[in-house]
Amino acid sequence: MPAVPTPDRSTDAGDLVFGGHAFKDAGLLRQALTHRSAGAPHNERLEFLGDALVGLIVADALYTRWPKADEGVLTRARSELVRESSLALIARTMDIGGALILGPGEMKSGGHRRDSILSDALEALVGAIYLDAGYAACRDAVLPWFAQAIDDLPVGKVDKDAKTRLQEWLQARQRPLPLYEPVSESGDDHAKVFRVRCRLVDIDIAAEGEGSSRRVAEQAAAEAVLQVLLVA
């Protein structure tokens, strides 16, 4: 069994501190940082739990911080904070990549630097903290990770995502909504790359985008179509 990753420090009680939380159960920390390529138990179930917790913690923080913001603004702000690239950036500041337990193939291919693996591990870490100490301790540990990103958001003014902006641009001109068509999927199950085409149905304009999920790929494709429309 792999050794427990090097913690930030140890407490007098022997708990391992990682991500600002003193783990009583070292096995949860190990599991949170174990990619499926390294075998079981890996972090995918913890990631599932952590994904929901991150959404709740960030939504609660935004709701409290912006008492006059409407649902749309809050939703866009949350999406900005919890998207894959944002979570991966936080993971890098915590050096989660250096603590990951990866299989030989992922180690060789630089999996510790990949956004998808880093963001998944961060969410798994949140799930592990919750199971180790409960919601209040989890919230207290996780909120500081997002403090700077929340501070950097313009209060009540968060840009809409590309798909929403494209839809509104077309609707304002009474034009039909675009179609999003899957083009390809590649890579292993744990590191999929999706490619999607965004196509306008009333004019010969289309563009492709790719990402670690269909949603990310659709956003990239919509952004590419918007760029074409705005310079036309």
For residue 1, the model assigns a pLDDT of 33
> 85 falls in which pLDDT band (50, 70, 90)?
confident
Inter-residue contact 105 to 36 (CB < 8 Å): no
- Answer yes or no: is pLDDT of 101 > 70: yes
Q: Which fold has domain 9-152?
A: Ribonuclease iii, N-terminal Endonuclease Domain; Chain A (1.10.1520)
Q: pLDDT tens, 9-19?
A: 444 444 688 98
> 153 falls in which pLDDT band (50, 70, 90)?
confident
Contacts by residues 72-79 (CB-CB < 8 Å, ≥ 24 positions apart): 73/156, 73/157, 73/158, 76/158, 76/159, 76/160, 76/161, 77/153, 77/158, 79/161
b vs e for 119-152, b when ≥16 Cβ sit within 10 Å of the residue's Cβ? bbbbbbbbbbbbbbbeeeebbebbeebbeebbee
For residue 155, the model assigns a pLDDT of 63
d(CA 226, CA 232): 10
- Answer yes or no: is pLDDT of 87 > 60: yes
Q: pLDDT tens, 29-52?
A: 999 999 999 999 999 999 999 999
Residue of higher predicted confidence among 130 and 71: 130
- Give percent above pLDDT 90 in the chain: 53
For residue 41, the model assigns a pLDDT of 93
Inter-residue contact 193 to 200 (CB < 8 Å): no
Q: Any idea which residues carry the catalytic annotation?
A: 51, 123
For residue 35, the model assigns a pLDDT of 94
Domain regions of the chain by residue span: 9-152, 162-231
In 3-state terms, what secondary structure has residue 223? helix
- Answer yes or no: is pLDDT of 63 > 90: yes
Q: Residues annotated as binding site for Mg(2+)? A: 47, 120, 123
For residue 232, the model assigns a pLDDT of 61
For residue 26, the model assigns a pLDDT of 92
pTM equals 0.68
Mean confidence (pLDDT) of the chain:
87
Closest CA to 221 of 162, 160, 165: 162
Q: List residues bridging with 211 in a β-sheet.
A: 194
Q: Residues 116, 24, 82, CA angle at the centre, nearest 5°?
A: 25
- Pick the most confident of 150-159, 186-195, 197-206: 197-206
- Answer yes or no: is pLDDT of 218 > 70: yes
> 224 falls in which pLDDT band (50, 70, 90)?
very high
Closest CA to 59 of 132, 121, 139: 139
> 188 falls in which pLDDT band (50, 70, 90)?
confident
Torsions phi, psi for 192 (to 5 deg): -65, 145
For residue 110, the model assigns a pLDDT of 86
Q: Residues annotated as binding site? A: 47, 120, 123
The one-letter code for the residue type at 11 is T
Domain 162-231 has CATH 3.30.160.20: yes
For residue 11, the model assigns a pLDDT of 45
For residue 16, the model assigns a pLDDT of 85
